[in-house]
Structure 1
């Protein structure tokens, strides 16, 4: 009888450990999927903005919004973009934030505006 009680106790501890581990792995996979969606969204936005004519870029930055896929997949996505001109060139920084159960820093992607100049 004692052996059955000990075996049941060990089995309960093992099952609770496996269940906790499975839940954490599931959350990790969900966070990885969110990161992939965020990077895909930023890549699409950067590609779209950097291919625009220079005079239309500021309007595109002012009207930037998350795509339908990002809005459905991520919890309250907030997309923002800034244009920076410095010694490295004219560049766009796009940032995406969303709510998550774990603290996640915002995802950023930088793209340089093509000046249409050819290099020798």
Structure 2
């Protein structure tokens, strides 16, 4: 099975509440080969990015090395007082994220609308 290259698209938009949200939309596979895509994109975010929405709906495969990269990103975000909300994970990966403790850093949501609304609460 050939690995699908990790793609990360960064978007920014304003909520009706006026709060800006930075979205990282992941696609492909997230593995050890994804370090530049995952951590590089995160580290390149502007200092004003305080609310980060992670979209995993385009992710086809995620292994333990990829999960470790996501955890590194979330720890860095936590240290920078950035809020992270997550959506789009397949049920299996929701279970894995919960088991490995990623929910300490983010809440897993069923869809983008619910995840965005969580920033207002």
What TM-score results when the alignment is normalised by the length of structure 1? 0.26
User: Max radius of gyration: which structure?
Assistant: 1
Structure 2 length normalisation: TM-score?
0.26
Q: Greater helix share, 1 or 2?
A: 1
Higher strand share: 2
